[in-house]
Amino acid sequence: MTNLKCLIVDDEEVSRMVVRDFIKRTEGLELSGEFDNAVSAYDVLKDTPVDLLFLDIEMPQMTGIELVQSLEKLPEVILITGRRDFGAEAYEYNLTDYLIKPITYPRFLKAVEKAKLSIEDSDQKLVENSSDDILYVKADHKIVKLALSEIFFVEALSDYMLINTKDKKYIVHSTMKALEKKFPENFIRVHRSYIANLDKITTIEDMQIVMPQKSIPIGNSYKSNFLSKLNFL
């Protein structure tokens, strides 16, 4: 597994400093950033996914729970609180764990291990075929049933894959190579960052695949294999 990208959101500087130090001391974790308020964190998280979010509950303007409620796509979330009676919130929202201030390193490691196990489980069960035309995608702590005919293309997004349908996008933790093995023959790797569903292509022009929502570049090293899959008259 690659390093887990972590984000800290806590309005207390001392608390952020402790978590920051624990992240640096822990193999397999990488600090992507930190915020002292949930509003700024929301602006980043809605567009830029991370693996693990260390989130204070009680903050002004927007609480940690309100941030969780506002995000469509949740990473693994470890709540941070000074009150023991907030533990139920972690279970209610199906979050990874919660830490009570002052945080100790052994308890921090225990929560991180829970997150790692959850992500590893997601990797193993990320996309499983139950039939030739159905995929089950584990995303946002849910398992979503997708018909292959719904998928237009898959796009690489750092350490994630973005599965695009007509109306929705599903961020899943995987590699392009792993996903290639899961799809049937009409899904073709056309670029180092794209897998396209041949059935959804509208036109091909200027080394671009045109689909209703997007134009996808055709990589030079993938061009020959891609063209060989097309049924030319």
pLDDT tier, 1 (very low <50, low <70, confident <90, very high otherwise): low
Q: Which residue has the higher pLDDT, 85 or 44?
A: 44
The CA distances from residue 143 to 57, 92, 101, 127, in Å, are: 27, 18, 33, 9
Q: Which of 10-14, 39-43, 155-159, 201-205 has the lowest mean pLDDT?
A: 155-159
Q: Which residue has the higher pLDDT, 16 or 3?
A: 16
32-74-78-135 Cα dihedral, nearest 10 degrees = -110
The residue-averaged pLDDT of 9-29 equals 96
Residue ranges covered by each domain of the chain: 4-123, 127-228
**Type of residue found at 32:** S
**Type of residue found at 156:** A
Query: 56 and 66 in contact (C-beta within 8 Å)?
Result: no
pLDDT tier, 28 (very low <50, low <70, confident <90, very high otherwise): very high
Q: Is the pLDDT of residue 4 over 70?
A: yes
pLDDT score of 124: 53
According to CATH, what is the number of the domain 127-228?
A: 2.40.50.1020
CA–CA dist 1, 138 (Å, integer) = 17
Using alpha carbons, select from 231, 4, 12, 227 the residue that is nearest to residue 115: 4
As beta bridge partners, residue 154 has: 163, 195
Q: Domain 4-123: give its CATH superfamily.
A: Response regulator (3.40.50.2300)
pLDDT score of 130: 47
pLDDT score of 231: 80
As beta bridge partners, residue 122 has: none
pLDDT score of 146: 86
pLDDT in tens, 111-164: 999 898 887 766 555 555 445 688 887 766 678 888 889 999 999 876 678 899
Domain 4-123 identical in fold to domain 127-228: no
pLDDT score of 167: 86
Query: 166 and 9 in contact (C-beta within 8 Å)?
Result: no
For CA atoms 29, 34, 39, 42, give the dihedral sign.
Answer: negative
pLDDT in tens, 68-112: 989 877 889 999 988 777 666 666 677 888 899 999 999 999 999
pLDDT score of 108: 97
pLDDT score of 145: 84
pLDDT in tens, 179-200: 777 788 899 999 989 999 999 9
The CA distances from residue 65 to 102, 115, 124, in Å, are: 20, 18, 29
pLDDT score of 212: 85
Q: Which of 9-18, 79-88, 144-153, 201-210 has the lowest mean pLDDT?
A: 79-88
